[in-house]
Amino acid sequence: MGYPMTYGPAAQIMEEIAVLTPIYGGISFDRLQTTGLQWPCLDRQHPGTKYLRADRFTRGKGRFHAVAFKSPAETPGEEFPFVLSTGRQLYQFHTGTMTRKSRMIHQVSPTGYVEVHAVPLLRRPGQCPDPGCARPRSQDSRIQGMRGTDKGGAMKETRTILRIAGAILTGGKAQRMGGVAKGMLSAGGSLSLVERLVVHLLRAGVEEIIIVANDDRRYTRIGCAVVPDARIDAGPLAGIEAALGYFASRYDAVLCLPCDMPSLSWREMSALIATSIDTGGPVIFAQTQDGARHPLCAVVRVDLLDGISAALDQGERVVSDLWFQLGGFTVGFDDSKAFVNLNSPSDFDAWLAGRPNDKAR
- CATH classification at residue 252: 3.90.550.10
- Kindly report the pTM of this predicted structure: 0.58
Q: Is residue 88 part of a domain?
A: no
Q: Is residue 71 part of a domain?
A: no
| 3-state SS, residue 166 | strand
Strand partners, 293: 287
Select, from the ranges 49-53, 98-102, 124-128, 240-244, the one with the highest average predicted confidence (pLDDT): 240-244
Q: Name the more confident of 325 and 136.
A: 325
pLDDT of 175 strictly over 80:
no
pLDDT, residue 336, reads: 86
**Alpha-carbon distance 9 to 221, whole Å?**
17
Say yes or no: 172 and 133 in one domain. Answer: no
pLDDT, residue 70, reads: 84
Say yes or no: 123 and 39 in one domain. Answer: no
Domain of residue 41, residue span: 10-50
Say yes or no: 290 and 171 in one domain. Answer: yes
pLDDT, residue 133, reads: 46
Q: Is residue 97 part of a domain?
A: no
pLDDT, residue 126, reads: 46
Domain final residue pick, 94, 122, 149 = 149
Q: Is residue 256 part of a domain?
A: yes
pLDDT, residue 154, reads: 32
DSSP 130: P
Contacts of 253 (CB under 8 A, 6+ apart): 162, 163, 164, 165, 276, 299, 300, 301, 302
Say yes or no: 173 and 142 in one domain. Answer: no
Contacts of 291 (CB under 8 A, 6+ apart): none
Q: Name the more confident of 12 and 77.
A: 12
- Going through 262-317 in order, the beta strands assigned E by DSSP cover 283-288, 293-301
Q: Is residue 344 part of a domain?
A: yes
Say yes or no: 321 and 208 in one domain. Answer: yes
Mean pLDDT computed over 229-251? 92
pLDDT, residue 216, reads: 72
Domain final residue pick, 125, 149, 173 = 149
Percent of residues, the chain, with pLDDT higher than 90: 24
Mean pLDDT computed over 258-286? 89
pLDDT of 24 strictly over 60:
yes
Q: Is residue 81 part of a domain?
A: no
Average pLDDT, the chain: 78
pLDDT of 149 strictly over 70:
no
Beta-strand pair 143-144/133-134:
antiparallel
Say yes or no: 169 and 314 in one domain. Answer: yes
Say yes or no: 144 and 177 in one domain. Answer: no
Say yes or no: 134 and 170 in one domain. Answer: no
Q: Could you tell me the CA-to-CA distances from 133 to 85, 99, 136, 169 in Å, in that order? A: 17, 23, 10, 38
Q: Is residue 58 part of a domain?
A: no
Say yes or no: 117 and 258 in one domain. Answer: no
Say yes or no: 186 and 241 in one domain. Answer: yes
Q: Name the more confident of 92 and 326.
A: 326
Say yes or no: 142 and 173 in one domain. Answer: no
Number of compact structural domains in the chain: 3
Say yes or no: 173 and 145 in one domain. Answer: no
Domain final residue pick, 122, 149, 176 = 149
**Of 321, 331, 168, which is closest to residue 259 (Cα–Cα)?**
168
pLDDT, residue 156, reads: 34
Q: Is residue 106 part of a domain?
A: no
